[in-house]
Structure formats: C-alpha cells, structure tokens
Amino acid sequence: MGSPRSGTTLLYHMLLSAGGFVRYRTETHVFSTLAPRFGGMRRRADIQGALDVWLGSDCHTLSALPADVVRDLVERDCRSPGDFLRLIMEEMGRRQGLRRWAETTPAHVLHMREIAAQLPGALFIHVVRDGRDVAASLSRQRWIRPLPTDRDRPALAAAAYWDWVVRAGRREGRALGDAYLEVRYEELVDRPQEVLDRVGAFIDQRLDHEDIVRVGIGSVGRPNTSFPGATGGFQGRWRTELAPGDARDVDAMLVRTLRAFGYESDSRNAPLRLAARARAYAARFAARRALKAFAPLARRSTSLDFFAPGSMRVTAEKLAQAVAGDAT
C-alpha cells in the first residue's frame, strides 16, 4: 500500500513470485471504496449491496471463485469489511492450497488502523517512492483534480497528494508498532535482495531475489512502462519530465516531506505561496477523507468506477494462476 504510482504492485508481484501467497492479480478496494459506499457494511442490506457490486466486477472474475460459493460465504459469515475480504481470500487460498495472502490496494494506506482492528495479526508494508517522480507520473494520469489556480499545473496537485498521503500513511502505520514496515521503492529496485531480506524478516519468510525473478509474475517478469524491472531506470525522471518551473516548485513544495522520508532536495524550504497551496490541498484531501467516514454522505460521494465490468485487464494467465496457485 502507499501513494499511487509508488511501486506497490511491483512489491506485491515479488511476494507472489516468491511463493506461499494466494495468487490474486488485482486490487480489492474493500476498505477504501466498498465499505464507505455501503455504510461500513454494518447492515445486512449493505453487505448484500457490496456483494452484488463485487460479483459483477472483474475483481470477482479474477478470483476464479464460483459466484454461488462467494455469495454463500458472505451471506453466512460476513459482519464487516474485514470479514468480506478475509472470506474471499481464504476461500481462494483453500482452493490453491495456500494459507497466506496479501492485498495491494494503494488507498488502503489510509485505513491501516481500521484494517488491523478487523484483521488481527495483519502486517502492513508502506511502499514510498520519491514524491517528485510520483508527481510526474500522476500528473500524466490526471487522477488528482487541481485547484482552480493550478488548472494548467497538474503536477502541483499530484505532488500535494503524495505529500498528504505518505504523511497520513506514516501516522496510521506508526500507531501499529511492529506490525508496520516502510520500504523505499528506489532501494527495492537498486538493492532488491537487501530490501527483500528486511521484508522477509518482517513477514517471517525467506525471499530470494533470484528465485523471484525466475518465477517472474506480473511486473517482475514483464515490467510495465513505469517499473522496468529492478533497474532503477525510472528514478529521477521528474527532472526531465516536468516543465522546469513545475520541477522547481514541486521540489520546493515537498522539501520537508522528502527529507523526512530520506530523500535529498535541491530546495532549502518551501516559499510561503507553495506552503499555503500545500495546506489548501491537504485540507481538501482531509475533508474528502472525513466525508468517507460519514455514511450518509459517503454513500453518495464514493464512486464505484473501479468495479465497473471491463475496468481491469483479465487474462488467461491471471485466471490460471488464481486457479492453480503455486502450481503454475
């Protein structure tokens, strides 16, 4: 989990390639989308609503589970979002002959304490990437709506979101003590075995980089355009991908948070105008998060676009892995 475009999928596919984890090639958005949209899934009618959305989505298709099995499990035993996620993942594990599972929704970084309360014993890995590179990548996607003053500068909105979400994620995680680990994307691609040793000690499992590359699930074996293997080739691209003025302002806006997470910066501090802008964005993001915690408003404001049929890439390979697990 972590900010979007931070390498969460790369680490997840490394774990799947290592073996011993349920093979499920997508995110779930249970806590970040289904739970707020359906009143925290506290009432039977809300659980039923979430289940109907799930069964009509590619999330369900990629699980390779029969719909009647999922429906029976959830209708019988689900009392919370944590139950919903656990029941589906455990049933996949039962069919794959595996007991451990991992989940990779980036936005769940904002829900760690809630998840920990509902899934006792859960461990949390927060993947952090240089916020300037995240801003360059996110600004191309235009997922973060800029303030009116930044309509032509989406990189500032993207940078502000990274700043807010990694700080919020660190607060969530540090409340969990030893159940929380931070991993830097740049170290993962530059010194993969060193980072995998840390992750392996954290989850109590041996992780061998050569074995992981040999199995090569997903972005480990066929890197996407953002994470080209463990080469580090996409580090520092903000300097060339962002316009000079945007690069300068993004670096200055993020200077405190960059240094807090161990990154160097060309800036000494953020000018007042950029600091004020970052606070304005943070207030907006925090307000949206608060709305999601208030059921009546969250029902109307939480989009279900992620669960629209056809929103994910469903392949024969992904389905075969979900059916066979480590046997593939």
What is the dotted CATH code of the domain comprising 8-327? 3.40.50.300
What's the rounded Cα separation, in Å, for the pair 124 and 311? 27
Q: At what angle do helices 154-174 and 244-253 cross, to 10 degrees?
A: 20
Domain ranges of the chain: 8-327
Strands (DSSP E) along 120-244, which ranges?
124-128, 180-184
Residues in the chain, pLDDT under 50: 225-232
Can you give the pLDDT at residue 326?
64
The full length of the chain comes to 328
Phi, psi angle pair for 327, to nearest 5°: -75, -15
- Token look-up 């390639």 returns 17
DSSP letter string over 3-35?
A: STTSSHHHHHHHHHHHSSB----S---IIIIIH
Do strands 180-184 and 124-128 pair parallel, antiparallel, or not at all (unpaired)? parallel
Sign of CA dihedral 177, 181, 184, 185: negative
121 burial (CB, 10 Å; 0-12 / 13-18 / 19+) is exposed
What's the rounded Cα separation, in Å, for the pair 290 and 301? 11
Can you give the pLDDT at residue 224?
54
Closest CA to 140 of 160, 157, 123: 157
158 burial (CB, 10 Å; 0-12 / 13-18 / 19+) is buried
Can you give the pLDDT at residue 228?
44
Can you give the pLDDT at residue 87?
99
Task: Give pTM, 2 decimals.
Answer: 0.92
What does the CA dihedral 266, 158, 110, 180 come to, rounded to 10 degrees? -30
DSSP code, position 111: G
SS3 state at 129: coil
For the chain, the first-to-last Cα distance in angstroms comes to 26
